[in-house]
């Protein structure tokens, strides 16, 4: 199952490394990644494959959100279907 991870917040060193570490530790493969920094505001979007994920989706989502909270980042993981449903016919 494909999902989209988004990380939004103030830029700092090692954001991608921290997020990827959590994903890797849980068996989630990163398929695509893009990021921009605008006025110190960091936005990263990753497409990931969660089919081999070793924990429940909710748990992974909580883990990422908790990691974000430590450093005032908003980290979300959402199934990609929601974006496709909304923007593609």
**Does residue 76 touch another protein according to CB under 8 A?**
yes
Quote the DSSP letter at residue 52: T
**Does residue 8 touch another protein according to CB under 8 A?**
yes
Task: With CB under 8 A as the rule, give the number of residues binding another protein.
Answer: 26
Query: Which of 26, 74, 69, 76 is closest to 46 using CA atoms?
Result: 76
Q: Are 53 and 64 in contact (CB under 8 A)?
A: no
Q: Are 75 and 16 in contact (CB under 8 A)?
A: no
| Identity of the residue, 25 or 81, whose beta carbon is nearer to another protein in the bound complex | 81
**Does residue 30 touch another protein according to CB under 8 A?**
no
List residues binding another protein (CB under 8 A): 4, 6, 8, 32, 34, 36, 43, 45, 47, 57-58, 61, 74, 76-88
């Amino acid at each position: 199952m494909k999902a989209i991870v988004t990380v939004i917040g103030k830029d700092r060193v090692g954001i991608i490394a921290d997020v990827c570490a959590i994903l890797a530790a849980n068996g989630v493969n990163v398929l695509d990644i893009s990021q921009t920094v605008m006025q110190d505001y960091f936005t990263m979007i990753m497409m990931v494959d969660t089919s081999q994920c070793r924990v429940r989706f909710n748990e992974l989502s909580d883990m990422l959100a908790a990691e974000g909270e430590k450093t005032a980042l908003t980290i979300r993981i959402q199934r990609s279907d929601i974006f496709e449903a909304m923007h593609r016919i």
